[in-house]
Chain A
Amino acid sequence: EVQLLESGGGLLQPGGSLRLSCAASGFTFSNYAMTWVRQAPGKGLEWVSGISSSGASTYYADSVKGRFTISRDNSKNTLYLQMSSLGAEDTAVYYCAKGNLVTKGWFDPWGQGTLVTVSS
């Protein structure tokens, strides 16, 4: 069974930094693209960032470009999202999701999410 377990969320002040992790199991992690999607409280889904299976290619939404960095460690079956210069607009549940053999695609399955709250 494919499992994705996010961690690293929490409460932090504006301007702060945080690193999210997503531990993957139940599939050959190094074969699949991965992605981060976030959902602000009471709002819809927003794609944040994607990474190819090797990690060589990365993609970002304009809203986070230059502030967030996606990466992966295929030896540890773990996906990361390094977030910096955080603002209130970044408050959301952050989901990691398994992509496809190619980087652009649909997401299945999703983890349960980790909540990031940016507030003074």
Chain B
Amino acid sequence: EIVMTQSPATLSVSPGERATLSCRASQSVSSNLAWYQQKPGQAPRLLIYGASTRATGIPARFSGSGSGTEFTLTISSLQSEDFAVYYCQQYNNWPLSFGGGTKVEIK
């Protein structure tokens, strides 16, 4: 089973600043990685798939990079609506798996 590890667990950022979230896989997942955003009381929303492709309707301030075992989600200039929990997910191997999440909070 592939274990996905996200860091940091909590990221405190001021509006307008850049946020960089990390996701590490215990073995290579190639580019088979997705990122999701979840706000309180809501279902997760797909942001990125294929490690770097933005999903439909996702603003350009969200970008993903990486391959193999190291991945990054960058939010270039945080807006108020971006404060949420972010999860990575690998879909290279069964069983599929999620990281533990990074909470982006207002500094």
Contacts and interface: CB of A to CB of B under 8 A. Distances in A.
Contacts, number: 61
B71 interface: no
B98 A44 contact: yes
A45 B94 contact: no
B98 A47 contact: yes
B38 to A, nearest CB: 8
Contacts of B106: none
A95 B44 contact: yes
B87 A45 contact: yes
A96 B5 CA distance: 23
A55 to B, nearest CB: 17
Interface residues of A, number: 22
A65 to B, nearest CB: 9
Nearest to A96: B43
Interface in A56-71: 59-62
B91 A45 contact: no
A106 B34 contact: yes
B45 A109 contact: yes
Contacts of A104: 32, 91-92, 94, 96
| Max count, chain A CB within 10 A of own CB: residue among B36, B96, B98 | B96
17 contacts: A44-B100, A45-B38, A45-B44, A45-B87, A45-B89, A45-B101, A47-B97, A59-B95, A104-B91, A104-B94, A106-B34, A106-B46, A106-B49, A107-B34, A107-B44, A108-B46, A112-B42
A-B CB proximity, top 4 nearest:
A106-B34, A108-B46, A110-B43, A106-B49
Interface of B: 1, 32, 34, 36, 38, 42-46, 49, 55, 87, 89, 91-92, 94-101
Interface of A: 35, 37, 44-47, 50, 59-62, 95, 104-113
